[in-house]
Amino acid sequence: MKIALAALGIVYGDIGTSPLYVMKTVFDKDAGLPLNQPELVGVLSLILWSLMLVVTLKYVLLIMRADNHGEGGIMALLALAASSVAGRPRLRHFLLLLGVFGAALFYGDGVITPAISVLSAMEGLEVASPRLAPFVVELTVAVLVVLFLIQKHGTAGIGALFGPIMALWFVVLAVAAIAPIARHPAILAAVNPLEGLGFLVRHGWLAFVALGSVVLAVTGAEALYADMGHFGAGPIRMSWLVLVLPALALNYLGQGALLAAHPEAIANPFFKLFPDWALLPMVVLSAAATVIASQAVISGAYSMTNQAVQLGFLPRMRIEHTSEHEIGQIFVPAVNTALLVAVLAAVLGFRSSTALGAAYGIAVTGTMLITTLLAFFVIRYAWHFNFWLALFATAFFVAIDLAFFSANLLKIADGGWFPLVIAGLAFTAMATWARGRVLLHERLRADAIELGPFLASVTADLPMRAPGTAVFMNAIPGLTPTALLHNLKHNHVLHASNLFVTVETLEVPWVSSGDRALIDPIAERCFSILLRFGFKDRIDVPAALSALGHGIEIDPMTTSYFLSRATVVPTFGTGMASWREKLFANMHRNATAASDFLNLPANRVVELGTKVQI
């Protein structure tokens, strides 16, 4: 129960705050949908059954079974899908591009969610006191700035409050809806799925357009899957089925009942559910709930960035661990700054939750569609299910995802371009970095010398042996690192012990300490060591080396770490387009120092550089 309460605070903030803006976005006057009893029932039926099919059936019951050693999320699913087709390089490459684009879309979602959530909560002030209406945007900006500024301090302290606050939020959602439903019980007809189908048939194109707003009710479904590693599938499922789903369903029905009796309440049907005396407390509670929703997405962006760096899709970044006890509590300054700038641009550019509703949805539905496609390859090739069974199950959800995604494509001109631009920039950076690393390694490999024969020639005419241990970080195992060549050339010494260490990130979230290292003796007191980490492991080379054994001793006072720092020089050729090579070179130059990323002691690191043309 305690874990389920914690899951409430982290997992359900995004989807739990959707009632703030869904109904008024669906029936926005510019959408052209008439506000009357049949249309209310039809729209509510679509919302309720979207929650049932997309969230409950697809994510809670099915997708959450596709865990990568207990971890979820699109990067974990991508690693699982890619490893399941490892023997098919072209298919694997396609899946990697698809998954990276899905991850890029998540950044677009990470911008819109804080903006629309906090802005919709602040708009409650317009209902409580119309005189405060001119200050809604300014107050939203202030809340968001404070939210992003406190990220560097971590959320461990306030995180304990998230669960109880969200539990109160969902209870209030349910209780506020009881009276309107009791006064207008005919709204319960929306529980019948035929009402939703009838609405689609009756309105055709207009209903298709409305789907672009209906999907806002299921934004946040990806969070259930992404946060599975923190809480486990059981508590997340229990929280959803016992509290979250019933509370959301009741609140949407309550808003529908209110609008059936008072159509003028469409200006803000969520806050109109409450009496005047409760409006200010509800604004405060809504603000708290939306901050929690934003926090979940921001933390998710940090986590996904960390995984993308580990898997080789982004350059090294400074990653700060904000908790001594929870390894997942991290802060990425570069991502925090970029998100803050983009979120403020969204708030100041769109200025209302209804306008932001047009921008919201396309990134979310794109990610949901890609998740479904990746799941097919896991079901078919990792779990070895019957092809036709896997295809049928996937096709059912692809049809739903495509309907929502296609409806949101209609909103590109009205704001949907904004998250797509963000996703496009993120995808370009990730794809360029991944391709650039391949080209860089190919060039290094072409110019390198085999390590074994080189050491044999060196030991045949042995130079002076310096005391202590030299650790040469080697990007490509089996090849001679340039740092060793420069050390011999300039210093004419070889250390008493030499370790040639390669760090490899596997397509699994965690690697046990027993499987961490592979050791291969290659000459007298010279060892080639492969250190393997999962994409959610914290990379700490000194700690991993100190646990090796096999007669290898790492004395912090006599061990030096040698890094080969390559300066990338873009050249005209067949590698990448000129602008992409320049982008890669700039990203490579500004990446966090390898010594920081590998947690090497700063006073024991020697960097020797070389220029590499790609």
**Domains recognised in the chain with CATH numbers:** 2-431 (1.20.1740.10), 448-613 (no CATH)
Pairing of the two strands 493-505 and 464-473: parallel
Q: What are the phi and psi torsion angles at 258 (to 5°)?
A: -60, -45
**How far is 322 from 33, CA to CA, in rounded Å?**
48
Structure tokens of 270? 């969520």
Report the pLDDT value the prediction gives residue 41, as an integer from 0 to 100: 96
417 with 78: CB under 8 angstroms?
Answer: no
Q: What would the DSSP string read from start to end of 92-159?
A: HHHHHHHHHHHHHHHHHHHHHHHHHHHHHHHTHHHHH-GGGGGGHHHHHHHHHHHHHHGGGG-SHHHH
Coil, strand, or helix at residue 606?
A: strand
pTM for this prediction: 0.84
Nearest CA among 447, 444, 433 for reference residue 590: 433
Question: Residue 230 has what pLDDT?
Answer: 66
How much is the pLDDT for 166? 92
Two tokens, residue 208: 């298709």
Q: State the pLDDT at residue 194.
A: 95
Secondary structure of residue 549 in the 3-state scheme: strand
Q: CA angle at residue 332 from 326 to 338, to 5 degrees?
A: 145
Mean pLDDT by 10 residues, the chain (614 residues): 72 88 87 87 97 94 83 84 88 91 88 89 82 86 91 66 90 96 96 95 89 90 77 85 95 96 92 92 91 83 85 88 62 92 94 83 89 92 90 93 92 88 94 91 83 84 81 89 85 87 87 89 89 88 86 84 86 82 91 88 85 79
pLDDT at 326: 54
- pLDDT value of position 253: 97
Q: 137 is written with which tokens?
A: 């945007």
- Virtual torsion, Cα 33, 38, 44, 49, nearest 10 deg: -110
DSSP 527: E
Q: What share of the chain is helix, strand, coil (3-state, %, to 5)?
A: 70, 10, 20
CA-to-CA dists, residue 572 to 430, 443, 448, 504, 576, angstroms: 21, 14, 22, 30, 9
pLDDT of the residue at 1: 64
